[in-house]
Amino acid sequence: MRYLITGGAGFIGSHLTEHLLGLGHEVTVLDDLSTGSEDNLAAVREHPGLRFVRGDVCDPATVDGAIEGADGVFHLAAAVGVFTILAKTLGSLRTNLTGTETVLETALRHDVPILVASTSEVYGKNTKDGLRETDDRIVGSPLLDRWSYAEAKALDETFAHLYGTELGLSTVIVRLFNTVGPRQSGRYGMVVPRFVEQALAGEAITVFGDGQQTRCFCHVHDIVPALVTLLQDKSLHGTVYNLGSPEQVSITQLAERVVEAAGSASTLVKVPYEEAYGTGFEDMQRRIPDCTKAREAFGFAPARTLDDIIGAVIAER
């Protein structure tokens, strides 16, 4: 089979590219290298099944050329990371809205099924235990206190859903919770690689906020096969799935576990959100997925622990 991966030179996209090539598929990567890098594809650069197109997902002609001959599209390209979005909010909105619309429109014209990467951020400030796929609709506020990245992704979901129900395109939406592993950059605000880099350099570990906020981290190697199953099995299309790990950890505990695993002497320093982000932006207090739907539909069950993840990120540095 042939697949187009938008954002294929990014963190998740490059792991997905390697996985698909390893299964004997052909892959076209479309990426503008804004946060991604060709280095992420170093292991497969010479692979005969790989085609790399450097370009913008907002450009219809570029996407049209890249999708040629594809049997399916993984749409992962997006402006991501708190630092990226806050530095360039309007440009990020454009990528995350126009880009998704352009890829959906092109997929429709070529009649190619598409997986659209969304995010747990669509749950806004909802902090209940075990977020289910319907919990994006239960909070009173119509915008659910979502910031610009989250709102754009929520609209992407609407686009994808309507291209399916009204235009007949086969679409599936994936709400990724924090996904971590080798090659994730710490530059754009991603917490695990940032802590690992600070610990290995013997620098202070900067914990934003009070450190009591919790997250659930899932290894990218548990996510990638699930993405493939979701795009390949059309009986799973027409809906949305949470993908993430149920293992919850506070950011302070995470920092302590990184320091210990790295054998580092770094100490923890709390940095107020205002100082960290230079704006009134505040992280969510907690975000715990309920992945029952994905487990029942296709047996999704992340196998790797947080210690596996921390070990893998330390090992690649």
- Cite the active site residues: 149
Q: Is 136 in the site for ligand NAD (CB under 6 A)?
A: no
Tokens of 255: 């920092």
Q: How far is the CB of 154 from ligand NAD (least distance, A)?
A: 12
| Terminal Cα distance for the chain, rounded | 34
Residues counted in the chain: 317
Which residue type occupies 129? D
Nearer Cβ to ligand NAD (169/220)? 220
Alpha-carbon distance of 234 to 298, in angstroms, equals 12
Over the window 235 to 274, marking each residue x when it contacts ligand NAD by CB under 6 A and - when it does not, the resulting string is: ----------------------------------------
Count of positions on this chain that bind ligand NAD (CB under 6 A): 28
- Round to whole Å and give the CA distance between 154 and 248: 24
78 lines the binding site for ligand NAD (CB under 6 A):
yes
Q: Is the dihedral of CA 309, 272, 85, 53 positive or negative?
A: negative
Among 58, 144, 310, 312, binds ligand NAD (CB under 6 A): 58
- Tokens linked to 311: 């070990």
Q: CB 275: neighbour CB atoms within 10 A?
A: 10
Residue, CB closest to ligand NAD: 36
The window from 7-15, 17-25, 280-288, 295-303 that contacts ligand NAD (CB under 6 A) reads 7-15
Q: Which amino acid is at 199?
A: A
Among the listed ranges 31-39, 104-112, 205-213, 258-266, the one in contact with ligand NAD (CB under 6 A) is 31-39
Residue 32 binding ligand NAD, by CB under 6 A? yes
**One of 13, 182, 189, 193 touching ligand NAD (CB under 6 A):** 13
- The yes or no reply on residue 77 touching ligand NAD (CB under 6 A) is yes
Could you tell me which stretch among 75-83, 193-201, 268-276, 299-307 binds ligand NAD (CB under 6 A)? Answer: 75-83
Residue 50 is a binding residue for ligand NAD (CB under 6 A): no
User: Looking at 197-288, which runs of residues are DSSP E strands?
Assistant: 205-208, 214-216, 218-219, 240-243, 248-250, 268-271
Residue nearer to ligand NAD on the CB measure, 119 or 170: 119
* Residue 102 CB, nearest approach to ligand NAD (Å): 9
Contact pick of 20, 117, 284, 310 for ligand NAD (by CB under 6 A): 117
Token pair for 184: 């994730």
| Strand ranges inside 65-146, DSSP E | 72-75, 114-119
Closest CB to ligand NAD among residues 187, 202: 187
Which residues are within 8 A (CB) of 136 and not within 5 positions of it... i.e. 6 or more apart? 122, 123, 124, 126, 144, 154
Phi, psi of 109 (to 5 degrees): -60, -35
How many alpha carbons lie under 13 Å from residue 253 in its C-beta half-sphere? Answer: 12
Residue at 258: amino acid letter: V
Q: Would you say 80 or 255 has its CB closer to ligand NAD?
A: 80
One of 17, 28, 95, 198 touching ligand NAD (CB under 6 A): 95
Contact call for residue 144 and ligand NAD (CB under 6 A): no
Integer angstrom CA distances of residue 104 from 69, 142, 225? 16, 25, 22
Counting contacts by CB under 6 A, is residue 131 touching ligand NAD? no
* Residue 11 binding ligand NAD, by CB under 6 A: yes
Q: Which residues bind ligand NAD (CB under 6 A)?
A: 7, 9-13, 30-36, 56-58, 76-80, 95, 99, 117, 119, 176, 178-179
